[in-house]
Amino acid sequence: MTTAAPSLSDVAPAAAAETILAVNNIEVVYDHVILVLKGVSLTVPKGGIVAILGANGAGKTTTLKAISNLLHAERGEVTKGTVEFEGQRVDKLTPNDLVRRGCIQVMEGRHCFGHLTIDENLLTGAFTRRDGNAAIKRDMDMIYDYFPRLRQRKGSMAGYTSGGEQQMCAIGRAMMSRPKMILLDEPSMGLAPQVVEEIFEIVRTLNEKEGVSFLLAEQNTNIALRYATYGYILETGRVVMDGAADALRENEDVKEFYLGVAGADRKSFRDVKSYKRRKRWLA
Ligand SMILES: Nc1ncnc2c1ncn2[C@@H]1O[C@H](COP(=O)(O)OP(=O)(O)OP(=O)(O)O)[C@@H](O)[C@H]1O
Ligand SMILES: [Mg+2]
């Protein structure tokens, strides 16, 4: 009997397409003692959009930071498992080296430099590049084409722009490193539904037109499963379920616990308890 999480589809994304990112059974410990990720595995196909879903504290941010090697700043460490980007081990690289290879994280809370203009913020995203000012200028124009709102605000200090514009600025800045893959942490956080939709539409466009693969962490299961093709549900540091986005959206337990949909035959508390027991089995 295996303890692996149930998969809702027979074909894992890795089997269907070339894999750009593979996380293999990683364990993460903070402060040498706090075990937060307990054997997380996931894959992102080249050109895919994959979501990591889960409630507060499930381990979504920790998973992204483990991939992008940003855990050291948090006194965190990957103590087991491996991370492969384009088939090569990257778990011992610095975050900058990983950016040079084409994988970059957009942090939770859309960290822009508040005292710099939108234009200057975008420019800071090009710091790992060596291909000259003309190419950088071309890419700035491209970013403004994808984010017309940023073009309007290009001379404004980022700190005075709206939350949605700051999120766009953070994604645009990441795009300036010419990434093959973006790790996007909680893009919907604190934003109005319409703005969230606008941002996810741009993510989809960047994915389709620029071929950027995305791994996004979201508490907002509903929107994430509309734009991602595949999802992993994390609970207390473990993947408890994964599957194609459509299959997850139709799954009764996902509907009940993550989409907030209660059908006519709303589950009784006893069912809920048995679900929790089942989850312990899965864990
Ligand atoms: N630097 C740290 N030191 C110790 N524990 C931490 C640290 N950062 C996170 N944790 C703990 O690790 C667990 C996972 O946190 P993480 O931030 O990865 O969750 P999350 O799924 O991103 O949650 P949220 O939706 O709130 O952003 C939580 O229990 C959290 O308290
Ligand atoms: Mg988080």
Ligand 1 contact via 220 beta carbon (within 6 Å): no
Rounded percentage of the chain residues whose pLDDT exceeds 70: 86
Q: What is the pLDDT of residue 188?
A: 93
Rounded to the nearest whole angstrom, what is the distance from the C-alpha of residue 268 to the centroid of ligand 2? 30
127 band by pLDDT with thresholds 50, 70 and 90: confident
Residue 262 confidence (pLDDT) above 60: no
**Cα 102 from Cα 31, distance rounded (Å):** 29
Which of 36, 60, 72 maximizes ligand 1 atoms within 8 Å of its Cβ, making it the mutation to test the pocket? 36
- Mean pLDDT (whole number) for 197-226: 96
Q: What is the pLDDT of residue 264?
A: 47
What one-character-per-residue DSSP string does 138-182 give?
Answer: HHHHHHHHH-HHHHHTTTSBGGGS-HHHHHHHHHHHHHTT--SEE
* Tokens found for residue 270: 């006893």
Ligand 1 contact via 58 beta carbon (within 6 Å): yes
266-283 tens-digit pLDDT: 444 445 544 554 454 444
SS3 content of the chain, % helix, strand, coil (to 5): 40, 25, 35
Residues in CB range of 268: below 8 A, 6 or more apart: none
Residue 146 confidence (pLDDT) above 80: yes
Q: Report all structural domains of the chain as residue ranges with CATH numbers, in order of start.
A: 1-102+181-283 (3.40.50.300), 111-178 (no CATH)
* Tokens found for residue 209: 């037109």
Report which of residues 128 and 166 the model is more confident about. 166
pTM more than 0.75 = yes
The number of CA neighbours under 13 Å toward the Cβ of 201 is 9
φ, ψ (nearest 5 deg) of residue 35: -80, 115
- Mean pLDDT (whole number) for 135-152: 95
Q: Is 201 helix (H, G, I), strand (E, B) or coil?
A: helix
**Cα 70 from Cα 62, distance rounded (Å):** 9
**Cα 117 from Cα 97, distance rounded (Å):** 26
Residue closest by Cα to atom 9 of ligand 1: 62
Report which of residues 61 and 261 the model is more confident about. 61
> Which residue matches tokens 């992993």?
232
**Cα 243 from Cα 123, distance rounded (Å):** 38
Ligand 1 contact via 30 beta carbon (within 6 Å): yes
> Which residue matches tokens 């939709």?
197
Residue 40 confidence (pLDDT) above 60: yes
Residue 131 confidence (pLDDT) above 50: yes
Report which of residues 89 and 273 the model is more confident about. 89
Residue 192 confidence (pLDDT) above 60: yes
Residue 28 confidence (pLDDT) above 50: yes
CB-based contact 174:104 (threshold 8 Å) = yes
Q: What is the pLDDT of residue 71?
A: 93
Residue 32 confidence (pLDDT) above 80: yes
How far CA 42 is from CA of 31, 54, 67, 274, in Å, comes to 25, 14, 11, 27
Residue 261 confidence (pLDDT) above 70: no
Q: What is the pLDDT of residue 272?
A: 52
DSSP 219: S
What angle, 0 to 180 degrees and rounded to 10, lies between the N-to-C axes of helices 193-210 and 163-175? Answer: 10
90-124 tens-digit pLDDT: 998 999 999 999 999 999 877 789 999 999 999 99
φ, ψ (nearest 5 deg) of residue 131: -100, 15
Ligand 1 contact via 60 beta carbon (within 6 Å): yes
Question: What are 233's strand-pairing partners?
Answer: 53, 241
Q: Which of 81-95, 229-243, 256-270 has the lowest mean pLDDT?
A: 256-270
The ligand minimizing its distance to the Cα of 75 is 1
How far CA 14 is from CA of 19, 37, 86, 87, 230, in Å, comes to 5, 22, 12, 12, 11
Q: What is the pLDDT of residue 251?
A: 87
DSSP 117: B
14: closest CA among 40, 46, 39, 51?
A: 46
Q: What is the pLDDT of residue 281?
A: 45
DSSP 73: G
Ligand 1 contact via 207 beta carbon (within 6 Å): no
Q: What is the pLDDT of residue 64?
A: 97
